[in-house]
Structure 1
Amino acid sequence: MKIASCVLTYNGADIIDDVLANCAEYYYEEGIDIYYFDASVDDSTKQIIDKYRANGYTNLYHLHMPDASSLDRTTKMMSGELFNKKYDYIWPSKNRSYLSKEGIRDILQVIRMKPDVVVCMPDDNDQTAIIQYTDPVQLYHDTAWIMTSLDTVLYKKDTIFDNYKTQEYYVGFNEFYSYVLNKMPCMKELNAIVVCGRNMTFVNSELGKSHYNVLDVWKNHWINVNQQLPDCYDLYKNDTIKQVAQLPWLIGDIDRVYEFYRENLIREDNIEEVKNNWKMISDVPVEVLDKMVKGRFDLYHDTMYIKDEREIFVLLGRIIEMIKERQIQISQIPMDAIHNVMLSGIEEKIKINSDLRFVKGTINDIYQQMIRDDITMEECCMYLQMYISLGILL
């Protein structure tokens, strides 16, 4: 079974050099060919590839396509018309990422089973496990969040890309994701395998960073790409849209949303457009967005975005740091809001385990100490840390 790893790249010679320094040897040893679909304006990437080829890594191929769009290069991958050989699997990849030698070997074992689709699912288990799917809808439900990452899916060429048509997929967001989810329901029989384990965690070069308008991609394109999928996925579309967008490093975290504001992606002149469909992708209240653009939102003191214990603990961590730096006064700490969220959280847990009633008393005791008139900053910091400790224990 032959794999063609296909890398979309643009002016990333230093990133590619860093990645190949770490993985070129075992990718070569394991027989995986790497094609660079390069839209760079110069030949710097080609020079890197030539350097490695001169050192014996003849599994590397450079395709200079300076006038080709991302979509053009994607369709060339699907068609395979630029390949030097016949391949069984197409593996689209980022120019900044690679899989460990152990992960590559796990993949090579799995493709012996000739699946149509292989999904790499990282988790904390040392032991690699595989899960087989024949239902595309269930695969979508369970793995859409990781399939959005360009490098996590391998496609069997003669079944997935046997007769591809560009109009079958949404353009503007990981076209492979859209294409395969449109393709699978049309297949007579689907054999998909999800490979789970620590070995499926991709390594990313520290030199490589993604540069795109995160808010535009995940608020607009992400919603659109899922909504245009076949009706068979309807039951899970809204859950999938929110599940993925709510990831803390995308849009689900208040720090991330505030970062968008600081980067001028959320502004007074575009706030109505931003608020459109906002609830489909984030639980951060739209009222927070309004306060941000009016300059009235305080990340450290405002509690209107807090809905659960996770967010209260994030706020507690911020306050503790500000106490240590003497950047906040006790009167500015939203103690009532903190106390109410903590009580709400423990009440939910008491419904499941009545033995936790004593914790409610502890939370109340801490609160009474925190609202003393003579409390010191050091004591306040200690009590906030006790709240965090309780949260960890629970």
Structure 2
Amino acid sequence: MKKGMLMFAFMLVNQMIFAQKKREFVFEKTKVSYLAQSNRMKGFFDFPGVSVFILVGRENQSSEDLYKETPLYDVPIKGMDDYANFYYFEHSKIKDFNLISFFDSFLQNVYKRDMINRNHVYLIWQNEDNTFTCEKVKEYLPIITTVYSNSVNGINSCEGLQPLKGVSNQVLVTESRKRKMTTEYTVPDLLSIKANEAIKDKEDLNDYLKHLKNSSFFQFTLGNNTILPSSQSSPDRETLVDFSQIHLLWNLQMGYHLTNRLYALADFGLLFSGKQKEVKNITFDDYHGLSASGSGYAGLMARYGLGLGYMVYQKNRFSTNTNVVFGRLNAVAGGGKGSFSSEEGTSKKIKVKKENANYVNFIQNFNYHLSKSWYLNGNFQFQVADLKNELGGVKGFHGYSINLGFGYNFPMKSKEE
């Protein structure tokens, strides 16, 4: 019972949330917003071969009001031939376009996007005007099957065009029954649908990665860091830290695309040994009691900088980009030795050293994009940084690292969503 109630609630909420979908269509560099609706499954348009109804409202009528006023989507479905998509436009947003070119371009767009049937396209024009004359209607027939119009021109008497029977003279239909549409549609099998969807996803991603301007990203990686032998020095016997033995590099990058290929970024890196302790000797005797000795240390290198990056290559899901970063590096090493005895108590000798320097980091990234947002990243980094004084067994942080991780693109608003 509970399961049935949950399923019912889900279906109810699903119908409410996906009642209609707001979209945008770009025509002649102008964004035109509209509402889309499917009578097969609310908010889903992935069923091929459905009919199309394009509804254009009266002057000053919103697409939401048009949607509520013309509930064609609620007409009972008796079979697959009754499946249809409905697209609602505001009159004011398209009236100044060349309508034939506009509808032709729009139908090509939804043909690829929603896999509509181009041979069953119906235009419902609600505004009472002179948009449709006998000659104008005939120009639409290669792209639209049927025209319903509140025309003031009396197109029901046009030669060679068939009026809708049983409907008042203000609402008329003209239809070409002998002429095939410009584009025929056949319903593909399931494998073909999946293949087409994969191609479409690939094309969408490829197009997205070519238009990254004004988008931002972050990237996190972990890697193995190596300090070159030329930057290593004698052991630091005071702090006991050896930075050449600290290999785990934490790296965070955040950036903003200034153009489709060029971007600015912030770079943060961290090497940290953790607190290391070692007890070397514990003794106990009746005369001296308990005694123990040991050592410990911790080393930290933190860097932060700003730089520029450039996408060198991009094809399908793969891309490469190169970064150059300039910044500041801070290093801290601390450690020493200590002892304890029942007679003398605790004694310790701890030394802390600090150094800072400027650094330059060259980064070569290799990316595999899982989607428009997420991608896998592998990168090679080469860092140059000289210290004024030796610290933690090194004279500087000249070295390289090989890193793996992931990134996230904050997607821009889609042109059509």
Structure showing greater Rg: 2
Q: TM-score, normalised by structure 1?
A: 0.25
- Name the one with the larger helix percent: 1
Q: TM-score, normalised by structure 2?
A: 0.24
